Structure 1
Amino acid sequence: MTLHTTYPWEAPATGPAAAQATQMEMCVPTLETPRLSLRPMRLTDFSTFHAILSSDRAIYMEGPFDRDEAWAEFTQCVSGWMLRGVGYFAIVKADTGAVLGFVGLGMEFGDQEHELGYFLTEDAEGFGYATEAAEAVRDFGLGQMELPSLVSYVDLPNTQSAAVAERLGAKRDAQAEAMFPEPVQVWRHQLEAYA
């Protein structure tokens, strides 16, 4: 399938470069849950990523973003695998192959610790997909990858994201919250199960 776009940087590679990209993608794990496949992000996922980040759904992520800003966020989510050994996954519904959103382990500019982040399309909300995906990635990060700590940064009015963190057993960390100039919730994911 050839993707035609007026933005050449969004078009998939061809020839030997495409083969190299496929080899690199194979180095990123795929995680399975009862209903989901969490696979490496691909260029073809950018349309879903951009749709989420350019909408009002991104208000809690310092958005909405224009296309260039969304592209910068997208590449940052993918590059974590190369730079830090962890990054973001596309959340794919196992039975249909539909991309529902994104979940991952990030360390963006300004972060103090690895962050467990998650965001879905509007149609995917309300089915428990965020919790299911985030639980698998939390276990991967704290277990297999042995991250020294893991938090979720949540804007104060983002009650849905806070509810996911709470369902995962995370606890608010007032000391970490006090280090930020702007009010933010810091939900700390527990290490005890992985010691």
Structure 2
Amino acid sequence: MTVLSLPIPVIETKRLILRAPHGSDLKPLAEFFTTERSHMVGGPRDAAGAWDSLVARLGHWSLHGFGLWHITDKATQAFVGWTGIIFAPGWQEPELGWAVFEQAEGKGIASEAASAARRYGAMHQGHDGVISYIRPTNARSRALAQKLGATLETLGDLRGTPCEIWRHPKLEAAA
């Protein structure tokens, strides 16, 4: 079997590794998508829907040269969520997105990972001052956006779902 290798950069932070999605991520991804917790990021989905999500992430990198990294906790080597910049049909502009699994919540993992992804996107991919689409009921993501310095720009709609559009500051403005 030939494995295609995409040029997906690896980012390391103090506690995390942001890396390309792997086939071994399918099981935890499918488990996450079967829970109600996934409704903020397009779930729930069945196993086939989780597969579609996994391969779409790789396709996004291939088509755009940027995308979602899977987050690995250095201490446990566990896949604990994802973050990165995505731009799909229906998006007004590229978005900084994130999601972490239940075991990673409340530990600063989402903040550490999203900060690293935002910095890399601004410095290496031309995505500075990006937005985040956040459902009004997603208090945790709203709090993280604020922690990252984002401000509520407007109310909007993403593929028929009401959302808030949060604007992240440009890195030079945040420094």
TM-score (structure 1 length as normaliser): 0.82
The alpha carbon displacement at 1:148 in A equals 5.8
Percent identical pairs in the alignment equals 32
The alpha carbon displacement at 1:83 in A equals 0.3
Match of 1:186 among 158, 165, 174: 165
Q: Which amino acid aligns with 1:151?
A: I
Q: Which runs of 5+ in 1 are unaligned?
A: 1-13
- 1:93 maps to which residue? 73
Q: Which runs of 5+ in 2 are unaligned?
A: none
Asked if residue 57 in structure 1 is aligned to residue 37 in structure 2, the reply is yes
The alpha carbon displacement at 1:91 in A equals 0.5
The alpha carbon displacement at 1:194 in A equals 7.1
Q: Which amino acid aligns with 1:183?
A: P
Bigger radius of gyration among the two: 1
Q: Which amino acid aligns with 1:53?
A: F
CA RMSD of the aligned region, Å?
A: 1.9
More displaced, 146-155 or 102-111? 146-155
The alpha carbon displacement at 1:178 in A equals 4.2
- 2:153 maps to which residue? 173
Q: Which amino acid aligns with 1:85?
A: G
- 2:115 maps to which residue? 135
Q: Which amino acid aligns with 1:185?
A: E
Contact (CA 8 Å) 1:54, 1:65: kept in 2 or not?
Answer: yes
Q: Distance in 1 between matches of 2:64 and 2:122?
A: 14
Task: Write the deviation string for residues 149-177 of structure 1: whole angstroms up to 9, x where unpaired.
Answer: 51111111000111111110011111xx3
List 4+ stretches of structure 1 deviating above 3 A: 178-182
More displaced, 47-56 or 31-40? 47-56
Contact (CA 8 Å) 1:35, 1:94: kept in 2 or not?
Answer: yes
Q: Which amino acid aligns with 2:120?
A: F
More displaced, 130-139 or 97-106? 97-106
